[in-house]
Each structure stands twice: as C-alpha cells, then as structure tokens.
Amino acid sequence: MYSPSDDSYLLSKTLKKYLKNKIKNEDTKILDMGSGSGIQAETCRKLGFKNIIVSDIDKGAVSFLKKKKFNAIESNLFSKIKEKFDLIIFNPPYLPEDKYDKQKDTSGGKQGFETIIKFLKQAESHLNKKGEILLLFSSLSSPGIIKKHAEKLGYKMQFLAEKKLFFEKLFVYSFKNKKP
C-alpha cells in the first residue's frame, strides 16, 4: 500500500481548494482511484462529501480502506467499476520503470505514462456529463505525451498546481470532456 508522500499531500491540498467552492450535494459521486491509504477520500469526507467510492489494485489497501468505513473496491483501474462519477481523483503510479523499482504503486510503466494514458482512455466513459478528473503526474512521466493523448481523447485540461522537488516537478491538472 502506498503511504502518503509529497505527491499525496499536493493532491490533497489542491483537492481541498477545488472542493471548497463546490456544493456539498448528497448526489455528488466521487471516486478516489488508486486510493492507497485513503488520503484523498478522507479530504473529501472532511469537507462533507458522503458519496465516495475508493478503489485500489492492492488487496491490503482495500482491506485497510474498508476498516476506515469507505466503500472500497479492489479493481485494476475501472475493471470492476461500472458507474459514472462527478469527480474522479487519481494519484497514479507515474515513475518510469527501472531495474530497482518495478512496484505497481510507483511505476507507471516503462516510460512512466502508460498507466495514466490507460486511465484517461477508460475514465471518459465513467464521467457524468459535467464530470471532472483531478490527476497528478510528474515531470518524469513525460507530461507532453500525457497532454497530447488527453487532447486526442477529447479532454479539456486545466493546470491547477505544481510542486518542485529535488529531482522532479509534480503537477495537478483538471480534465473535463470537451463535449458537455
């Protein structure tokens, strides 16, 4: 299970700011994809949102999240998720694979962006009409390629936040379908 780190805290802070002005509606459906320890779902819960589903590929994380009283699903991206959401939050594995780190909670594929591209392709059919994605990625995961694929998939992107670390930059973007 992925423990919160700089990326988790940046996304949580951005999410808090993003949700601050949103109407807390019981019908607002939120998915925290790749939830890990549940930091993003907890941020939503603390702000008064109740209709939150969390998912993770890791059985241990799902068990941990259930103990925190979340509706938790073990799923590889959207493989076991059928519904649509108003907000999907994802702090994906985004680091390029290397011989020392091939962990599924940090490595996003050979180049680092493969999991993100796969997610964006699948997420499109899981967004409500005015649904939105908050996605974190790194300067190490080829942001230009991610943005190019998102554009091809019909997403409108908006930069929300960034954090400079010693060896990389972290970015949080909002993605919406161009067609309302």
User: Would you state the pLDDT for residue 102?
Assistant: 45
Q: For residue 155, which of 177, 170, 135 has the smallest C-alpha distance?
A: 177
User: Would you state the pLDDT for residue 108?
Assistant: 46
- pLDDT tens, position by position, 39-85: 999 999 998 888 999 999 889 889 999 999 999 999 998 999 999 99
How many domains does the chain fold into?
1
- Residue 1 structure tokens: 């299970």
- pLDDT tens, position by position, 101-134: 444 545 545 555 688 888 999 998 999 988 999 9
- What domain range includes position 61? 6-15+26-177
- Flag whether 1 is in a domain: no
- Flag whether 21 is in a domain: no
In the predicted model, what is the mean pLDDT of residues 149-168? 91
Least confidently predicted of 14-18, 39-43, 96-100? 96-100
- CATH number of the domain that 162 lies in? 3.40.50.150
Average pLDDT taken over every residue of the chain = 84
- Flag whether 148 is in a domain: yes
User: 17 in helix, strand or coil?
Assistant: helix
